[in-house]
Amino acid sequence: MFTGLSAFPLTPMNETEIDERAFRGLIQRLAAAGVTSLGVLGSTGNYAYLTREERKRVVSLAVEEAGKVPVMVGIGALRTRQVLELAEDAQQAGAKALLLAPVSYQKLREEEVFQLYQSVNDAISVPLCLYDNPGTTQFTFSDELYGRLAGLSRLAAIKIPGVPDDAAQAKARIDRLRQLLPDKIAIGVSGDALAARGLNAGGELWFSVLGGLFPQVCQRIIRLSAAGQQLEAQNLSDRLAPLWALFAKYGSLRVVAALAARLGLTEAVNLPQPLASIDREDAGRLEAVLPLLE
């Protein structure tokens, strides 16, 4: 399942509950588009903002609507005991893989992160994807730690942060990781603005925020890159520059949430407070981007 497009949908919600109807709709859209896998309860799915019960419900809904598309589930939480509970819940609800970021309040130390992954590895029976997202976790994986974690039996993929925005440096980075990790561990790129760069440099799949709402444009970039049309893949990504600028300003979550509301796929309010939508003056910029996405 760790190839092609792994689409990360929103979990639309308000201050009272999850918008189940809208969430089902988002999953149906992605299944119909034939994404390779779903990454529910990723950062885009606001996993950190939901209760255990809500997270279990989200997994059940996703599995129900996903058809044959395998569902990967984010199980990150501050405490190891919560992570283990969430792993069990997700597996029982039909998750085909688990996604784990070292979520922190107190900045974590390298050995603590290793122990967390080892505890989870020993408790689960599905593949595990390492979620390296320093922007939200405050933790930066060293290459040495990657190497140690590569020995865990369930580790099947790594979701790396954005590669350097220079073709040669991006290739050097992916080559270095490929050297460090056994072949059975897939290297997946993220940071949508840098994904074409990362795929052209040898990344094996794309864990995508944009792909959670607009899978087709992402699938096109993946196909071009896989067919050796690297320049065309990069050009297609570059045409989305106004979108990447908004991602940089607001974080991708707020922008994709605004797009989903604009398209009527969710209610106008779909994020948990205190998270708010983008400013009114940027809504016009979104309109200009829409034709490129649909």
Q: Residue from 9, 39, 74, 102 that binds a second copy (CB under 8 A)?
A: 102
Site for a second copy in 197-216 (CB under 8 A): none
Q: Which of 161, 208, 219, 158 is nearest to 183 (CA)?
A: 158
Q: Residue from 28, 67, 92, 107 that binds a second copy (CB under 8 A)?
A: 107
Q: Which of 100, 33, 91 is nearest to 67 (CA)?
A: 33
CB under 8 A: which stretch of 88-96, 97-105, 213-221, 285-293 binds a second copy? 97-105
CB under 8 A: which stretch of 77-85, 185-193, 213-221, 258-266 binds a second copy? 77-85
229 binds a second copy (CB under 8 A): no
Site for a second copy in 262-291 (CB under 8 A): 272-276
161 binds a second copy (CB under 8 A): no
Minimal distance, residue 278 CB to a second copy, in Å: 10
135 binds a second copy (CB under 8 A): yes
113 binds a second copy (CB under 8 A): yes
243 binds a second copy (CB under 8 A): no
CB under 8 A: which stretch of 22-30, 42-50, 59-67, 228-236 binds a second copy? 42-50
12 binds a second copy (CB under 8 A): no
Burial environment of residue 217 by CB neighbours within 10 A (0 to 12, 13 to 18, 19 or more):
buried
Minimal distance, residue 119 CB to a second copy, in Å: 8
Minimal distance, residue 44 CB to a second copy, in Å: 10
142 binds a second copy (CB under 8 A): no
227 binds a second copy (CB under 8 A): no
248 binds a second copy (CB under 8 A): no
Q: Which residues contact a second copy by CB under 8 A? A: 15, 43, 48-49, 78-81, 102-103, 105-109, 111-113, 115-116, 119, 135-136, 138, 250-251, 253-254, 272-276
